[in-house]
Amino acid sequence: MYLQLSNWSVVNLNLTAKTAVVTGAGRGIGLATVRTLTDEGVRVVGAARTITPELEETGAHAVSADLSTAEGVSALIDTALAELGGIDLLVNNVGGGDKATVGFLEVDDSEWAGTFDINMLSTVRATRAALPSLIERRGAIVNVSSILARMPGGFPVAISSAKAALTALGKSLAEEFGPRGVRVNTISPGLVRTSVYTDPDGQVGKWAAAAGTSLAEFVQQMAKAQNVTTGRMTEPEEVAALIAFLLSDMAGNITGVDYVIDGGTIKTI
């Protein structure tokens, strides 16, 4: 990837021959990130609970793992270290949840635990396992959070709470491991055009059905309700481009930052 900084200078991200682990790589932001990194010459291990044909087509080494469990994360990092010989870059992208209850009183303990396992503890476990290699190689981490960490009202309470914890974790990791050569940054997307918003059997599809409206109309109402300044969702490839930049040496003195990419949804400073 080349960044055109002016009409006379072009900057190469220079990621060729690096190694990377990307979680939640089967679709959406994770898949777009795998494609972007492999196009840059990065050797990638992509993890997903279900290996999709699209992930296999990227040429990355695909690993099937349940990253909501300690065993799944351990198996992933062990496989990555064996396959890659070491880890330069880690993208903790896996998240979401099988359930997404909005009202606090309706969220039981199992949903709280499951949501934190996949959105927060998956990152804790993967980072902890990969850090010895990342420290040795002076690597970089990008955690994918959400603007729900900053504007939780009206959204699934367990997910917004887990994302807030994830954003805080990124800052703590950056502070602790920055002196040892590892950069850690967070990306907080708003609405991103992924299967979450196009699959009628997904969570948003279920909300649309419960509201008695079509999925397309419900998604349009969501975007309008969030008052997106640009008037559109972010594309997965746009998030992936930001991730690639933050992983590169071009961002060599950027760490501990939470980058919002939401089309202007958040209006506060």
Segment 9-52, tens digit of pLDDT: 445 799 999 999 999 999 999 999 999 999 999 999 999 999 99
Is the pLDDT at 258 greater than 90? The verdict is yes
Sheet containing 61-64: give its strands across: 61-64, 43-48, 19-23, 89-92, 140-144, 183-189, 258-261
Per-residue model confidence (pLDDT) at position 111: 94
pLDDT tens readout for residues 81-119: 999 999 999 999 999 876 778 899 999 999 999 999 999
| Mean pLDDT calculated for residue range 69-92 | 98
What residue has token string 């980058």?
Answer: 259
For the chain, domains (ranges, CATH) are 2-191+234-261 (3.40.50.720), 192-225 (no CATH)
pLDDT tens readout for residues 158-206: 999 999 999 999 999 999 999 999 999 999 999 999 988 889 988 789 8
Please tell me the distance from the alpha carbon of residue 98 to that of residue 24, in angstroms, as a whole number: 14
Is the pLDDT at 5 greater than 50? The verdict is no
Provide the terminal-to-terminal Cα distance of the chain, rounded to the nearest Å.
31
197 to 93, 206, 207, 214, 233: CA distances (angstroms)? 17, 11, 11, 11, 10
Number of Cβ within a 10 Å radius of residue 105: 7
Per-residue model confidence (pLDDT) at position 15: 97
Is the pLDDT at 6 greater than 80? The verdict is no
pLDDT tens readout for residues 203-255: 789 889 999 999 989 988 888 888 999 988 999 999 999 999 999 999 999 99
Per-residue model confidence (pLDDT) at position 190: 96
Count Cβ atoms within 10 A of the Cβ of residue 15 and give its class: 0-12 exposed, 13-18 middle, 19 or more buried.
buried
48 vs 8, more confident: 48
18 Cβ contact list (under 8 Å, min separation 6)? 41, 42, 43, 88, 89, 247
Per-residue model confidence (pLDDT) at position 8: 43
| Predicted TM-score of the model (pTM) | 0.92
